[in-house]
Amino acid sequence: MLRVNRMGAEMRKKQYGQASKPMAIKMGLVLGWVALAASVFLLTRSQADWSPQTNYIDADLIRVGISDDSMTTLEYPRTQVSATGPFIIRDKNTGVPVLSGKAGDVVTITVDGNGFYLKSSGLSAATPTPALGDAANLNLLAVPPTVPPAAVMPVPGPLVVAPLNDRDRLKITNITRRKEVPEYRGVFEIVRAASSPNKLTVVDVVSLEDYLKAVVPNELPMRYGLEAVKAQAVAARNYAIRPREKPWKTFDICDSQLCQVYLGSQTETPGSNQAIADTEGLVGLYNGDPILALFSSSHGGVAENYSFAFSDPTTKQYPAPPIAYLQGGPDLPLPPNLDLRTEAGARKFWTDASFRSFDVESPYYRWEKRWTRPQLEAALNQGLLAVSKDNSTKAFISPLFKPGDSIGVFKGVQVLERGLSGKAMVVAIQGSRGTWTVKKEFLLRKVFSNGGKMLPSGNVVFTPQKDAKGAIVGLIANGGGFGHGVGLSQLGASWMHKHGYRFPQIVQHYYRGVSLGSIPVSVGSNPVNKPVMTRFDVHQPKGTLWIQEGDSAANLPTKQGTIEIELNGKNLKLSPSGFRSGIAVDGYLKAGTLNHLLLYPDREQPQRKIKAWIELYPAQSGSAMANR
């Protein structure tokens, strides 16, 4: 049975070196413990980034890899950093200051096997400062203060670049974003690149909410509507902490379209900042884990299953294993005999704009592309070769298209397999010199480029154009939607905003069976044995505190001691018995302000795995129309 007890201030002070106000805790009915099997989402991405001014780990930090000027690579031979105000550069491992600068000063940083090199004609060594140590073989005090150093070298690194005032922003002056030098909140870490000792990467270490301020306006402008932008903020927050792929060891997410577009604080807008603040700390959850919140511009009226649009990022299996909450379906019911997986059904739906859905205002709701036969043959030859040469995509084309190959005369195209939405999954391209099979909607769109641009989506039907003798002279592609069509439709979210839906309804329409709540915090798997905190906004003071113990119901620890949690400064001491449980905490939540959840590790069992989160919007069944 679950018991909630008062934790005295003296006990808190004795255990963690900090006092809390004594209080009496009165709880209502305790929800029963629920034994559900689910994987544990451990927030190891930021648990090493805890503030020295506090006695807890901040779970709401994120590390963003900053790409080069073309946004094509995250590793480069040099970077140039500056700031809008005074700043300092330190060696991360020792904390020793290396250089200090004023607003507008620029430092060029390079790296080799010996360390990091800093160059500037306008900076002086940070003084007073000790040497970096014998291993560094550098004593900045030896630099004459009247002669600014042309180069300080070598510093072991990694380096930390930080503004001295919170209001100031860091800059990278040798790149541009939309023709402007980008500015960034947070602090920079300059780390050695994984591929070469002579390359580096800039990592922006920033609060999750500040990160979103430079993401959301670049993914969805305010003209789409406030509730739509709030839903986008939730989806973007989810994707930041649960990206589809995470091949990097030194940061959590990249800054390009491969992840989410993060262009710098100069792109922030008051409206999107308000949408982020109104949803602060809220994420979509499924079985206690943050969801993979995929989104695209428009799905054309029917969302697609994750499996039918994506391959597994690790094994490359296609179709990918299914994800329960990324199951497709129409916004509004379709005629019962209309099966979009058939050629006839797909043709009827994707050539007819009269079907109603939440996406009807999309400029790509229905679209058409045309080629002459020579145009098509040129596009196919180029596209098949590009897919065959790319190591990440060549597994999805058969046979491989080699340099010098040609399809010859285009003879036809056949869609061999379609997804739930009618999305083309596998196509056969027939030419006089052979037949090539291409899998995955993204690659199909790339191969059938039109005017140098990919097809808007894989929701497509093809119609050959023939002359009087029956010879193919061109091709027409009809389709609907823009992007992969899995998860949230941004144009659909905009329509929902205009028709009175609020952001929780929008999120739960596109991610089936999902609840909304705080970012789960975890202890027991990190060597830093500190409490972990997260913050979240509450619109109505009603919610459930969920606690999960261990990795699964079949792998519970032999001894389940008490669990200590602090919710908005009130201390709860819980006695669990099972894998997962929930308890109503309506009286502890505060509407209209930030709420704080702090999870303490078990001091007697430091490796005891515990996860906690607050559920604010339970999962809904049925359609968005039914849950208005």
Task: Name the residue type at position 1.
Answer: M
The tokens for 373 are: 């036969």
Residue 19: predicted pLDDT: 35
* Cα–Cα distances in angstroms (integers) from residue 618 to residues 353, 512, 540, 544, in the given order: 35, 12, 13, 9
pLDDT mean for each 10 residues of the chain (628 residues): 37 37 28 26 31 66 96 96 96 92 94 92 49 35 38 84 96 96 97 94 97 97 98 97 90 93 97 97 96 97 97 94 96 96 98 97 97 98 97 96 97 98 98 98 97 97 96 98 98 98 98 97 83 94 93 69 92 85 94 94 88 96 56
Per residue in 439-481, pLDDT tens? 999 999 999 999 999 999 999 999 999 999 999 999 999 999 9
Q: Please check whether residue 109 is in contact with residue 190, taking contact to mean a CB–CB distance below 8 angstroms.
A: yes
The tokens for 445 are: 């769109």
Task: Name the residue type at position 357.
Answer: S
* Cα–Cα distances in angstroms (integers) from residue 360 to residues 366, 490, 494, in the given order: 9, 12, 11
In angstroms, the CA 465 to CA 474 distance is 5
> Where do the CATH 2.60.120 domains begin and end in the chain?
4-53+531-617
Q: Are strands 488-489 and 295-296 parallel, antiparallel or unpaired?
A: parallel
Q: How far is CA 560 from the centre of its chain?
A: 34
Residue 373: predicted pLDDT: 98
**DSSP strand E in 199-267: where?**
200-207, 253-254
- Percent of the chain that is helix, strand, coil (3-state, to 5): 20, 30, 50
Contacts of 390 (CB under 8 A, 6+ apart): none
Q: Please check whether residue 562 is in contact with residue 545, taking contact to mean a CB–CB distance below 8 angstroms.
A: no
Phi and psi of 507, rounded to 5°? -60, -45
Residue 190: predicted pLDDT: 97
Q: Is 140 helix (H, G, I), strand (E, B) or coil?
A: helix
Topology (CATH level 3) of domain 4-53+531-617: Jelly Rolls (2.60.120)
Give kind and range of the element (H or E) at residue 163. strand 159-163
DSSP tag of 224: G
Phi and psi of 597, rounded to 5°? -120, 125
Contacts of 159 (CB under 8 A, 6+ apart): 89, 90, 91, 92, 98, 109, 116, 118, 188, 189, 190
Q: Is 276 helix (H, G, I), strand (E, B) or coil?
A: helix
Residue 54: predicted pLDDT: 52
Residue 60: predicted pLDDT: 86
Per residue in 44-74, pLDDT tens? 233 333 333 358 888 889 999 999 999 999 9
Q: Please check whether residue 326 is in contact with residue 306, taking contact to mean a CB–CB distance below 8 angstroms.
A: yes
Count, in order, helices (H) and strands (E) of the chain: 11, 39
DSSP tag of 6: -
Contacts of 487 (CB under 8 A, 6+ apart): 235, 293, 294, 295, 296, 303, 306, 326, 510, 511
Q: Please check whether residue 479 is in contact with residue 455, taking contact to mean a CB–CB distance below 8 angstroms.
A: yes
Residue 141: predicted pLDDT: 32
Give the position of tokens 């497509």. Answer: 460
Q: Please check whether residue 444 is in contact with residue 437, taking contact to mean a CB–CB distance below 8 angstroms.
A: no
Q: Which residue, 438, 433, 374, is CA-closest to 405? A: 433
Q: Please check whether residue 230 is in contact with residue 278, taking contact to mean a CB–CB distance below 8 angstroms.
A: yes
Residue 31: predicted pLDDT: 28
Q: Please check whether residue 157 is in contact with residue 92, taking contact to mean a CB–CB distance below 8 angstroms.
A: yes
Predicted TM-score (pTM) of the model is: 0.86
ω into residue 145 within 30 of 0, thus cis?
Answer: no
Residue 134: predicted pLDDT: 33
Q: Is 466 exposed, middle or buried (0-12, 13-18, 19+ CB in 10 A)?
A: exposed
